[in-house]
Amino acid sequence: MEQDIAVGLDIGTTKVCAIVASPDQAHPGMLKILGIGRSPSEGLTRGVVTNIEKTVQSIRAAVADAEAQSGVKINAVTVGIAGDHIQSFQSRGVIAISRPDNEIIKEDVDRLIEDTRRVALPLDRKIIHVIPQQFIVDGQDGIYDPVGMSGVRMEAVVHIVTGLVTAAQNIYKCVQRAGLRVNDMVLEPLASSYAVLDEQEKEVGVALLAPTSTGTLILASRGVDAALPGRFRDLMVMATFV
């Protein structure tokens, strides 16, 4: 059962929250909340760590609270990242399909997505997410799942989300000093969208506003492909801070 436990950690400007969940056996596709921990946050400013030790103390307190409620020993977390340093932009990549039968397989898609990561970035920025928008096979666009199709040239339009290298490093450092392992780092408004939007809202397009103590995070999308729930089209991520 341990491998089915998921722990999310939100390190905010005013509070740190930890949540423990597992699959709900009575309701397939749903999660059962096992425990929630909260602690005041004193080590961040505008979503960025400014005091390592205070942030570590807040993480430990929130995690201890979540452990007490859930009865689960927490060793690893999925941590959120946000702040006015977050930026995003559209990009493209292209590869050739050299297989004799020209059939596109998952490894080709993975290779193409990896190709889209080869963009020029300032040394102080890193890629947090590469979110596919659509694929183009031999000039035919509007393809959202090219696996199994035939083609000799495949392109991808993706949305790339970046953040400051030091901001991400400091989050990792705080979590690790708190005695935890980071499973993954997720853009917070994107994580919120998976938590609160239903498939119909994703399909028709939506603007998600996530108010925080220091501003508003906005995720806007024109929709998703019905065959691939969770894949946003024309995604745009914005942040306004005060």
Question: What number is the average pLDDT over the span 21-49?
Answer: 89
Tell me how far apart the alpha carbons of residues 58 and 38 are, in angstroms, rounded to a whole number: 9
Q: What's the confidence (pLDDT) of residue 218?
A: 62
Contact 149, 70 (CB under 8 A): no
Q: What's the confidence (pLDDT) of residue 15?
A: 92
Tell me how far apart the alpha carbons of residues 184 and 133 are, in angstroms, rounded to a whole number: 22
Q: How many CB atoms lie within 10 A of CB 141?
A: 10
φ/ψ of residue 165, rounded to 5:
-55, -45
Q: What angle do CA 230, 48, 217 make, to 5 degrees?
A: 40
Q: Which pLDDT band holds residue 189 (cuts at 50, 70, 90)?
A: confident
Is residue 140 a part of any domain in this protein? yes
Q: What's the confidence (pLDDT) of residue 190?
A: 82
Tell me how far apart the alpha carbons of residues 1 and 71 are, in angstroms, rounded to a whole number: 13
Is the pLDDT assigned to residue 27 strictly greater than 90? no
Tens of pLDDT, residues 95-119: 999 889 999 999 999 999 999 999 9
Is the pLDDT assigned to residue 238 strictly greater than 80? no
Is the pLDDT assigned to residue 225 strictly greater than 50? no
The dihedral of CA 151, 157, 158, 164: what is its sign?
positive
* CATH number of the domain that residue 91 is part of: 3.30.1490.110
Question: What number is the average pLDDT over the span 16-34?
Answer: 90
Is residue 80 a part of any domain in this protein? no
Tell me how far apart the alpha carbons of residues 113 and 107 are, in angstroms, rounded to a whole number: 10
Sort strands 153-164 and 87-96 into parallel, antiparallel or unpaired.
Answer: antiparallel
Domain range spanning residue 91?
87-161
Is residue 180 a part of any domain in this protein? no
Q: Which tokens go with 177?
A: 């000093």
With both helix axes pointing from N to C terminus, report the angle between 165-177 and 52-70 in degrees, rounded to the nearest 10. Answer: 50
More confident position, 82 or 35: 35
Is residue 107 a part of any domain in this protein? yes
Tell me how far apart the alpha carbons of residues 218 and 122 are, in angstroms, rounded to a whole number: 24
Q: What's the confidence (pLDDT) of residue 242?
A: 45
Is the pLDDT assigned to residue 159 strictly greater than 80? yes
Q: What's the confidence (pLDDT) of residue 224?
A: 46
Those residues with Cβ within 8 angstroms of residue 75's Cβ, 6 or more apart along the chain or in another chain: 180, 181
Q: What's the confidence (pLDDT) of residue 221?
A: 60
Is the pLDDT assigned to residue 232 strictly greater than 80? no
Q: Which pLDDT band holds residue 86 (cuts at 50, 70, 90)?
A: confident
* Distance between first and last Cα of the chain: 43
Is residue 96 a part of any domain in this protein? yes
More confident position, 196 or 148: 148
Q: How many CB atoms lie within 10 A of CB 198?
A: 9
Q: What's the confidence (pLDDT) of residue 80?
A: 93
| Number of domains composing the chain | 1
Sort strands 223-224 and 232-233 into parallel, antiparallel or unpaired.
Answer: antiparallel
Q: What's the confidence (pLDDT) of residue 217?
A: 58
**How far lies 223's CA from each of 132, 183, 197, 217, 233, in Å?**
13, 28, 11, 18, 5
Q: Which pLDDT band holds residue 220 (cuts at 50, 70, 90)?
A: low
Is residue 157 a part of any domain in this protein? yes
Residue 197 DSSP class: -
Is residue 47 a part of any domain in this protein? no
Q: Which pLDDT band holds residue 219 (cuts at 50, 70, 90)?
A: low
Average pLDDT in the chain: 85
Q: What's the confidence (pLDDT) of residue 228?
A: 37
Is residue 224 a part of any domain in this protein? no
